[in-house]
Amino acid sequence: MDTTHIYNGPIGLETRHAGPIDGEVVILLHGFPECWSTWRHQIPALAEAGYRVFVPNMRGYGQSSKPADVSDYHVDELIKDVDAIRRYAGVEKVHLVGHDWGAMVAWWYALNKPEQLASLSILNVPHPTVFLGTLRKSPMQMLKSWYVFYFQIPYLPELTLPVNKFFFFRDILKRTSNKGSYSDEDFRELQKHWSIPGAMRAMVNYYRSAMRSQPKSPNGDRIKTPTQILWGEHDLALTLDMARGSEKYLENGSLTTYPDATHWLAHDKPEEVSERLVTHFRSYPA
């Protein structure tokens, strides 16, 4: 696996890549509060299956650029980063995979640039319309999303999250994933990323941008791209009903749920996720 910087104008994306240069292109997008290593189990499996895999640290993470303005983390800007990777790879269509915030960006890319996608795979994040609708109507979901509102406070999250060697992050990941899903190696890699100057503010700015300006798709809410949603049912932040509601927006899609998995599905079920991805890609070649 090699690392390069791919540029979207002034935004540099620290990107791991692997697999044959003539393979169909797969882009894997991580979420909060992780980094490229979300996909460390899937990268070798997809490369061995013949795919050319690109795994960026999203803007604000790792050694990727950390623009200062909250508006720089709007999903309209984030999908431009994805498209920069596609153009760097020199292909018309890619297979796009996202988890958590990476899944939200993947949904938005599919709504805005469906012509650039061969397939879409989503892990444990609902369609944007479903999420916003549920947040407005459900006091329980609002309570589950308390951290989104905490992150709106200026400066305080950046000061408190690093306390006691990022105890909050480590505790959340351990308590909300299956036992043993995160190794000591995983936490070492994550803590290295969390400690990079400017990372905390950038990571929190995703949530600030989302609350200040809600996006609107020019193409409506329907997803035309062949899509699979993979969902761990023991997600403490997002309900299974949101997954089922998201399936209704798919013109060609499926939902697969795992009663013994959590929000951190790529860690809980690494082999299963890899197999599902390869099967989906082969069903809809680029």
Give the active site residues: 100, 207, 263
User: Measured between alpha carbons, how far is 126 from 228 in angstroms, rounded to an integer?
Assistant: 12
Cα of first residue to Cα of last residue in the chain, in angstroms, is: 23
User: Measured between alpha carbons, how far is 154 from 285 in angstroms, rounded to an integer?
Assistant: 45
Query: What CA–CA distances, in Å, run from 75 to 49, 119, 128, 230?
Result: 31, 19, 11, 22
Query: What CA–CA distances, in Å, run from 42 to 39, 49, 265, 275, 278?
Result: 5, 11, 12, 9, 10
Could you tell me which of 199, 242, 230, 245 has the C-alpha nearest to residue 59?
199
Q: Is 285 exposed, middle or buried (0-12, 13-18, 19+ CB in 10 A)?
A: exposed
| Token output for 78 | 């984030």
| Token output for 28 | 């894997």
Query: What CA–CA distances, in Å, run from 207 to 71, 107, 119, 145?
Result: 11, 16, 27, 11
| Token output for 85 | 């990777």
Helix, strand, coil tally for the chain in percent (to 5): 50, 20, 30
